[in-house]
Structure 1
Amino acid sequence: MRTPEAGAGERPERDRGRRRDAMETVTFAEALVRLGAERLTALLQARPDVLVEPIPRSFEQLARRLNGVESLSAALELCTGDMIVSGRAVALLNAGATVPAVAELLGSPEPLVTEAVDELCTRGLAWRDGERIALPDRLAAHLTQDVDTFRPVAVIARQSVVDDLRAAVRALGGTTEGLRKPQLVARLAELMADRDTIGRAVAGLSRQARRRFDLVRQGHGFYLPFYGTDPTQQEDVLVRAGLLLPVYGTGELPREVAVAAWGIELKAALTGPPGLPDAEPEAANVARSAAEDLLRGLTGLLDEARASGLTALKKGGVGTRERARLAKRLSAAPEDIGLWIDLASAAGLLARAGSRYAPTAGYDQWRESAPGDRWAAVARAWWDLEFAPTYRKIDDDTEAPPPVPLASEAGMIRRALLRAAAGGRSVEAAGMHIGWFCPLQHYPRDEMALRVHAAVTEARSLGVVSGDRVSDPGEHLVAGGDDLGRRCAALLPEAQGMLVLQSDLTAVASGQPSAAAARLLAAAAVPESHGVAATWRFSSASVRAAFDAGWSPDELRAELRAISDRELPQPLDYLISDVARRHGSVRVRGLASCIVGSESEIAEILHTRSLRKLQLSALAPTVLASPFGTDRVLAGLRKAGFAPLAEDADGVVIVEKRPEKRAPTPAAAVRSRPRATAAELARLLLGGPGEDGDDHEPESPTHAALAALTSPLDSAELALLADAIDNQRDVSILYRDKQGNRTVRDIRPRELYGRWLDAWCHLKNAQRDFAVANIEAVAPAG
Structure 2
Amino acid sequence: MKKDSPIPTLKGWLDTQSDDQLSTILRNRPDTVLPLPPNLASLAARLQLRASAIRAVLKLNALELGVLEAVANLGGELHPVTAPEVVEYLHVALAEDLPAQDTIGAALATLKNFALVYGDDQLMIAQETMPALPVHWRLLPEVSDRGQSEEQVRESVDKLSDRHRKLLHTLAASGGFGLTRDAAPDADPSRPIPQLLASGLLARVDEQTVRLPAMVRRVIEGREQLPAQVRPIPRTAAPGSNDGGIAAGLEVVRHMRLLIDALSHVPAPTLKVGALGVRVVTRLSKELDLDETELARLLSLGMASGLIRKGVPDPLPMDDDGGDYVAPTPLADEWMEYDLAHQLGTLMSGWWKQTYAPWLVGRADDKDKPIHVLSKTSIIDSLPDARAKILSSLSRVLVDNLHADLAFHYPLAASRMNPDTITQLVQEAQWIGAYSQGVTAAGQALIDGENPTEVIKAPAPVENFIVQGDFTIMVPGPLTPAMQKTMDSIASLESPGLASVYRLSEKSIRHALDLGLTTPEILEFLKEHSMTDLPQSVGYLLSDIARKHGTLRGGPALSYIRSDDPALLHSAVEAGADVALRQIAPTVAIAQAPLLQVITVLRAAGFQPVAEDGEGASLNISPSPARVPAASPPPVVPALDESRVQAAVKAIRRENSASQGTVSTQPTLSVLQAAVRGQRTVTLGFVDKQGVAVHRVVKPLTVNAGQVDAVDEATGAVHRFMLHRITEVIVDN
TM interval, shorter chain, is 0.5 to 0.7
How far has the Cα of 1:670 moved from its partner?
0.9
On the 8 A contact 1:67/1:139 being kept in 2, the answer is yes
Within-5 A mapping of 1:230-249: 241-242=195-196
1:438 aligns with 2:410: yes
1:335 aligns with 2:293: yes
Match of 2:633 among 661, 669, 673: 669
Partner residue of 1:93 out of 71, 76, 86: 76
Deviation at 1:96, TM superposition (A): 1.9
Q: Could you tell me which residue of structure 2 aligns to residue 276 of structure 1?
A: 234
SS in 1 for 2:411: coil
Higher mean alpha-carbon deviation, 53-62 vs 136-145, is at 53-62
Note if 1:131 corresponds to 2:107: no
The answer on whether the counterparts of 1:345 and 1:351 sit within 8 Å (CA) in structure 2 is yes
* Alignment partners' CA distance in 2, 1:19 and 1:442: 40
Instruction: Name 2:158's counterpart in structure 1.
Output: 206
Q: In the TM superposition, what is the alpha-carbon distance from 1:643 to its structure 2 partner?
A: 3.6
**CA deviation vs aligned residue, 1:34-65 (integer Å, no higher than 9, x gap):** 3444x6666666567789x9888987887787
Q: Secondary structure at the match of 2:379?
A: coil
Distance 1:464 1:197 in 2: 52
**Structure-to-structure mapping, 1:634-653, within 5 angstroms:** 634-635=599-600, 640-645=607-612
- Determine whether 1:453 maps to 2:423: yes
Structure 1 residues 582 and 93, CA gap change in structure 2 (3 angstroms): closer
Give the CA deviation at 1:135. 5.4
Cα deviation, residue 125, structure 1: 4.3
- C-alpha spacing 1:322/1:414, structure 2 compared with 1 (3 Å): same
Give, in whole Å, the separation in 1 of the partners of 2:381 and 2:468. 53
Task: After TM superposition, list the pairs within 5 Å mapping 1:581-730 onto structure 2.
Answer: 587-590=555-558, 601=563, 604=566, 608-612=570-574, 614=576, 624-626=589-591, 630=595, 633-635=598-600, 640-645=607-612, 656-666=621-631, 668-675=632-639, 677-678=641-642, 680-685=643-648, 688=651, 690=653, 692-693=655-656
Contact residue 356 and residue 374 of structure 2 kept, 8 A: no
Whole-angstrom CA distance in 1 between matches of 2:61 and 2:131: 19
Name the CA shift for 1:25/1:301 in 2 (closer, same or farther; >3 Å): same
| Corresponding residue SS for 1:357 | strand
| Correspondence for 1:418 | 391
| Residue in 1 that maps onto 2:328 | 359
In structure 2, the CA distance between the partners of 1:609 and 1:205, relative to structure 1 (3 Å rule), is closer
Change in Cα spacing, 1:561 to 1:140, as seen in structure 2 (3 Å) is farther
CA distance in structure 2 between the partners assigned to 1:82 and 1:263 by the alignment: 23
Write out per-residue CA displacement over residues 301-329 of structure 1, whole angstroms, 9 at most, x where no aligned residue.
44433343446454344456655655555
Please give the residue correspondences for 1:203-352 in structure 2 after superposition, counting only pairs within 5 Å. 204-206=156-158, 215-217=169-171, 219=173, 241-242=195-196, 256-258=209-211, 260-261=213-214, 272-276=230-234, 278-279=236-237, 283-310=241-268, 312-318=270-276, 323=281, 326-327=284-285, 329-352=287-310
AA at the equivalent of 2:399: V
Residues 24 and 344 of structure 1: CA distance in aligned 2, closer, same or farther (over 3 Å): farther
Paired with 2:651 and 2:68, the residues of 1 have a C-alpha distance of 31
Pair 1:400 & 2:376 matched: no
Show the counterpart of 1:82.
Answer: 63
Q: What is residue 428 of structure 1 aligned with on the other side?
A: 400
1:465 is paired with a residue of what secondary structure?
Answer: coil
Q: In 2, are the aligned partners of 1:29 and 1:692 still within 8 Å (CA)? A: no
Ranked by relative contact order (alpha carbons within 8 Å, sequence separation 6 or more), the top structure is 1
Q: Which amino acid aligns with 1:474?
A: G
CA distance in 1, matches of 2:511, 2:46: 61
d(CA) in 2 for partners of 1:211, 1:433: 39
- Given the alignment of the two structures, is residue 481 of structure 1 paired with residue 449 of structure 2, yes or no? yes
Q: CA deviation at 1:331?
A: 4.7
Amino acid of the residue matched to residue 570 of structure 2? T
Structure 1, unaligned runs of 5 or more:
1-17, 148-193, 222-235, 245-253, 709-714, 716-782
Q: Which amino acid aligns with 1:516?
A: A
**1:383 positional shift:** 4.0
Superimposed CA distance per residue, residues 667-720 of structure 1 (whole angstroms, 9 cap, x where no aligned partner): x43121444643x3444445556264599899999x979x99xxxxxx9xxxxx
Residue among 516, 521, 526 paired with 2:482: 516
Alpha-carbon displacement from aligned partner over 1:509-533 (angstroms, at most 9, x marks no partner): 66544443455556x6464657333
CA distance in 1, matches of 2:513, 2:686: 66
SS of match in other structure, 2:407? helix
1:276 alignment partner AA: P
State TM-score, norm by structure 2.
Answer: 0.62
1:354-403 CA deviation, whole Å, 9 max, x = no partner? Answer: 55423333233334445454444444444445675446655588763443
Whether the 8 Å contact between 2:475 and 2:501 is mirrored in structure 1 is: yes
SS in 2 for 1:589: coil
**Shift of the alpha carbon at 1:257?**
4.3
| Aligned partners of 1:112 and 1:270 also within 8 Å | no
Is contact 2:573–2:582 with CA below 8 Å preserved after alignment?
no
Q: Distance in 1 between matches of 2:355 and 2:568?
A: 62
1:34 aligned onto 2:24: no
1:397–1:696 distance in 2 versus 1, CA, 3 Å: farther
Which letter maps to 2:299? I
Cα gap change, 1:305/1:62 in structure 2, threshold over 3 Å: closer, same or farther? farther
**Aligned-partner SS, 1:93:** coil
Give the aligned CA root-mean-square deviation in angstroms.
5.8
Matches within 5 A, 1:548-587: 587=555
Secondary structure in 2 matching 1:86: helix
Deviation per residue, 1:58-112 (Å, 9 max, x gap): 8788778767777655543332123234335556632524334555666557756
- The answer to whether the 8 A contact 1:386-1:412 is kept is no
Cα distance in structure 2, aligned partners of 1:47 and 1:371: 40
State the alpha-carbon separation in 2 of the partners of residues 621 and 331 from structure 1: 40
Task: Provide the residue aligned with 1:196 in structure 2.
Answer: 145
Contact 1:201 1:241 in 2 (8 A): no
Distance 2:85 2:28 in 1: 27
Structure 2 distance, partners of 1:512, 1:255, is: 76
Max radius of gyration: which structure? 2
Q: What SS does the aligned partner of 1:416 have?
A: helix
Unaligned runs of 5+ in 2: 138-142, 176-189, 199-206, 219-223, 312-322, 659-680, 697-733
Residue aligned with 2:250, SS:
helix
- Paired with 2:2 and 2:356, the residues of 1 have a C-alpha distance of 38
Q: Which residue of 2 aligns with 1:121?
A: 112
- Asked if the contact 1:372/1:485 (under 8 Å) is kept, the reply is yes
Aligned to 2:717: none
Bigger drift between 331-340 and 75-84 goes to: 331-340
Asked if the contact 1:146–1:218 (Cα under 8 Å) also holds between the matched residues in 2, the reply is: no
Identical counterparts, % of pairs: 17
In structure 1, the partner of 2:502 is 535
CA distance in 1, matches of 2:619, 2:422: 56
